[in-house]
């Protein structure tokens, strides 16, 4: 879900996501898919992330809270993360990614 007011998401709950080693594109895709799955099953919105990368192994502690229709203004429902246009590359200043989602 796209939230119009992401600053209103409190980091009240934590979920740890661990993904096995894989190439960067699939790692990003799988991580975003896990976030979408957490929303679809538990209605949790995340606002803070502590990400650890060891080689191509990702562990992320994701903090957020359950969606509250009175406080969170939902704009678009994300139906899926797509491989179309998915790009991850290391630049001189860090990492850059581009993701297209199906809404």
Highest mean pLDDT among 12-16, 37-41, 50-54: 37-41
Higher pLDDT among residues 81 and 15, named by residue: 81
Q: Residue 50: its pLDDT value, please? A: 92
Do 64 and 46 contact (CB within 8 A), yes or no? yes
pLDDT band at 21 (very low <50, low <70, confident <90, very high): low
Query: Is 2-102 a CATH 3.20.20.70 domain?
Result: no
Q: Residue 92: its pLDDT value, please? A: 93
Q: Residue 24: its pLDDT value, please? A: 75
In whole angstroms, give the CA distance from residue 27 to residue 73.
29
pLDDT band at 88 (very low <50, low <70, confident <90, very high): confident
Please check the confidence at residue 33 and state whether its pLDDT lies above 90: yes
Q: What predicted TM-score, i.e. pTM, was given to this entire model?
A: 0.76
Q: Residue 45: its pLDDT value, please? A: 94
Residue identified by tokens 């992320």 is 60
Backbone angles phi, psi at 39, to 5 degrees: -70, -45
Do 96 and 39 contact (CB within 8 A), yes or no? no
Do 44 and 65 contact (CB within 8 A), yes or no? yes
Backbone angles phi, psi at 67, to 5 degrees: -60, 135
Higher pLDDT among residues 16 and 72, named by residue: 72
Residue identified by tokens 């919105």 is 45
């Amino acid at each position: 879900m796209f939230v119009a007011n992401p600053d209103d998401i409190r980091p009240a709950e934590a979920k740890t996501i661990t993904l096995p080693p894989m190439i960067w594109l699939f790692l990003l895709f799988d991580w975003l898919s896990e976030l979408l799955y957490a929303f679809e099953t538990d209605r949790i919105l995340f606002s803070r992330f502590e990400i650890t990368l060891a080689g191509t192994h990702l562990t992320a502690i994701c903090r957020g809270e359950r969606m509250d229709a009175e406080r969170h203004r939902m704009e678009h429902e994300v139906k899926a993360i797509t491989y179309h246009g998915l790009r991850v590359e290391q630049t001189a200043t860090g990492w850059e990614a581009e993701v297209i989602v199906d809404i």
